[in-house]
Structure 1
Amino acid sequence: MSVLSHMDSMKKDMSAAEKKIYRYICKHKENIPNMTASQIAAGAGSSAPTVVRFSKKMGFNSLTAFKISLSAETRQPLEITGYEDVDPKEPFQSLKNKLANNAQFTISETTELFNEDTFKDACKLLESKDFCFVAGVGASRLVADDVTQKWTRLGKNIVYENDYNLLLPQLVTNARQSVLFLISNSGKTPELIAIAETAKEMRIPIIVLTQFGQNRLAKLANVHLQTSRPMEAEVRSAATNSIIAQFITIDLLFYLYISRNQKYAKKIFSTRKAIDQYREKYF
């Protein structure tokens, strides 16, 4: 994942001290890989421990790993450009090119974040439980609906429900046999946090899909699937890049889930065949 663009996407979550470090790194990116934590701190007007914590907040295990990635990036810039905002009264051709660029960039950034062990852990939870309760609010409802559609075709007992009053009784009744799958780009959706806290008290395992970084849902989760932190255009009527990131994550989880057991692939073929036969007969 692009180190510079990732830092840029996290600016809103940075403290004043972290923003100083961020600005210094951006200004001296070619020199940073050869500098110590103390040298970076001195240049940014900060402290060495804060520099190390900053690198970990950006998703790296150490400052060394951060510097290695930054070094590779400054030597080999990404071919895909960064996010571009949409201007009022922009020509159709320009809009088309910007949206295509943003989609490609989102997919590239998100797939770089994917960790195989995390996806396998999510698959194991889904396989081990009889019921999967799925919830998503706002635009994330579309992704929750996609999860429901995909796993239902495999014969999985999927319950798609956002209403706390309807969901809670079902969780209570099926607590031992259930896994909860919550989808929120920000990871701060109040309704989903309330559901997650209740499930945690009931010891129901939780899978969450949120953007990269620590948030309330991530802290409550047993498995945290992460997307990049896409920049959404200011002139927009709905989430676009974040939805693309969420859909590509669900697609990979689904195909990994199928690949783990041949019977799932057979079920996909059978359901597809049944639908085709129905259409041939009645349409």
Structure 2
Amino acid sequence: MSVLSHMDSMKKDMSAAEKKIYRFICDNKETIPTMTASEIAAGAGSSAPTVVRFSKKMGFNSLTAFKISLSAETRQAVEITGYSDVGPNEPFQTLKNKLANNAQFTISETSELFNEKIFNEACHLLESTNFCFVSGVGASRLAADDITQKWTRLGKNIVYETDYNLLLPQLVTNAKQSVLFLISNSGKTPELIALAETAKSLDIPIIALTQFGQNRLSKLADIHLQTSRPMEAEIRSAATNSIIAQFITIDLLFYLYISRNQKYAKKIFNTRQAIDQYRQKYF
């Protein structure tokens, strides 16, 4: 993921001191890789520890790792096109190009965040539990639907439910055999926070799918799958991009899950064959 575009997407979550560091880095991106934490702090009117914390908040293990990535990006002269919002009365061709660019940018940014260890841990958790309870609210319900459709084809016991009063009794009854999969772009959805807190009290492991960064849901989760942070726009075209990011994450998890055991691939073939036979017979 582009260092500069990633910082830009995190602006809303930055403190006043962090925004000063962000602006200083953007204005001096060519020289930052050769500067120490103290030099960056002096230029940004901040402190060296704050600079180090800033690099870690941006997702890097250290300031050195941050500077190496920024240096590589600067040397390659990567052009950051970013997201384009849809304006009034735009021609069809312009709308088509903007949406295609946004989708490609979202997929590229999100795939850069994928961590093999985390994905394997999520697969192991799904394999080792009997029930997977899934929930998402608003646009994230589409991602929850996608998870349900994919894993039920493999014979996994998937329970997709958004009503807390219906889901809670099932969590309590199957606590020792379950995993809870929660999808929220912001990671702040109140209904899902309530479900996560209940699951924690029942010792039910949680997989959370949210945008990059620390949020309330990610802190409650045992496994945190992250997507990029599409810029919110006036008419919220970015909602489309967040769904695309969720879908590509779920797709990778699903393919990895299948690749770990060939019996799942066989199940996919059998279910597809059953559907084809049904259609040939009745349509």
Per the TM superposition, whether the score is higher than 0.5 is yes
Q: Which residue of 2 aligns with 1:247?
A: 247
- In structure 2, C-alpha distance between the alignment counterparts of 1:229 and 1:276, rounded to whole Å: 39
Deviation digits for residues 148-206 of structure 1, max 9, x if unmatched?
Answer: 00000000000000111000000000000100000000000000000000000000000
Q: Which residue of 2 aligns with 1:68?
A: 68
Aligned residues, how many? 283
- In structure 2, C-alpha distance between the alignment counterparts of 1:78 and 1:282, rounded to whole Å: 54
SS at match of 1:213: coil
Aligned-partner residue type, residue 225 of structure 1: L
Aligned-partner residue type, residue 247 of structure 1: F
1:231 aligns with 2:227: no
Distance 1:106 1:238, change over 3 A: closer
Q: Which residue of 1 aligns with 2:148?
A: 148
CA displacement at 1:235 relative to structure 2 = 2.0
- Is this contact kept in 2: 1:80–1:105, CA < 8 A? no
- In structure 2, C-alpha distance between the alignment counterparts of 1:239 and 1:36, rounded to whole Å: 39
CA displacement at 1:10 relative to structure 2 = 0.3
Q: Which residue of 2 aligns with 1:96?
A: 96
Q: TM-score by structure 1 length?
A: 0.98
CA displacement at 1:78 relative to structure 2 = 3.2
1:185 aligns with 2:185: yes
- Is this contact kept in 1: 2:231–2:238, CA < 8 A? no
Q: Which residue of 1 aligns with 2:125?
A: 125
- In structure 1, C-alpha distance between the alignment counterparts of 2:34 and 2:238, rounded to whole Å: 43
Unaligned residue ranges in structure 1 (runs of 5+): none
- In structure 1, C-alpha distance between the alignment counterparts of 2:245 and 2:23, rounded to whole Å: 27
- In structure 2, C-alpha distance between the alignment counterparts of 1:33 and 1:236, rounded to whole Å: 35
SS at match of 1:89: coil
- In structure 2, C-alpha distance between the alignment counterparts of 1:101 and 1:90, rounded to whole Å: 16
Identity of aligned residues (%): 87
Aligned-partner residue type, residue 211 of structure 1: Q
Q: Which residue of 2 aligns with 1:278?
A: 278
SS at match of 1:210: strand
Q: TM-score by structure 2 length?
A: 0.98
Unaligned residue ranges in structure 2 (runs of 5+): none
Within a 5 Å distance, the mapping from 1:1-283 to structure 2 comes to: 1-78=1-78, 81-236=81-236, 239-283=239-283
- Is this contact kept in 2: 1:80–1:104, CA < 8 A? no
Distance 1:238 1:107, change over 3 A: closer
Aligned-partner residue type, residue 262 of structure 2: Q
CA displacement at 1:89 relative to structure 2 = 1.3
